[in-house]
Amino acid sequence: MSGTTVVSIIITQEKLICINLGDSRLTLFKYDNGIYFSKNLSREHKPIELDEYNRIILKGGVIKKCFDEKNKKFFGPERVWLKD
């Protein structure tokens, strides 16, 4: 009823190709001479981001929080749902 996420990488001798869907992110970590470095190789596709929000709505998706039928309250972050 709600989405899923995936992050994949393909490493060749010349390139590193990153593919991600959903609110996942690939971060590269490196340890060099006692210092840790990190670099984001992708970004999270969260529905609260304006470009993602617009893309989802234009494709007929719905963005809303989960609803707790028992307590009659919305909870958690906004998620992407099927229209019906």
Which residue type, as a one-letter code, is found at position 53? Y
Which pTM value belongs to this model?
A: 0.65
* Coil/strand/helix, residue 83: coil
Average pLDDT of the chain is: 88
Cβ neighbours of residue 62 under 8 Å, at least 6 residues apart? 80, 81, 82, 83
**The predicted structure's pLDDT at residue 69:** 86
pLDDT in tens, 4-33: 788 999 999 999 899 888 888 899 899 999
Half-sphere exposure of 34 (CA within 13 A, CB side): 0
Taking the C-alpha atoms of residue 56 and residue 19, their distance in angstroms, rounded to an integer, is 18
**The predicted structure's pLDDT at residue 13:** 94
Q: For 53, left (φ over 0), alpha (ψ -120 to 50), or beta?
A: alpha
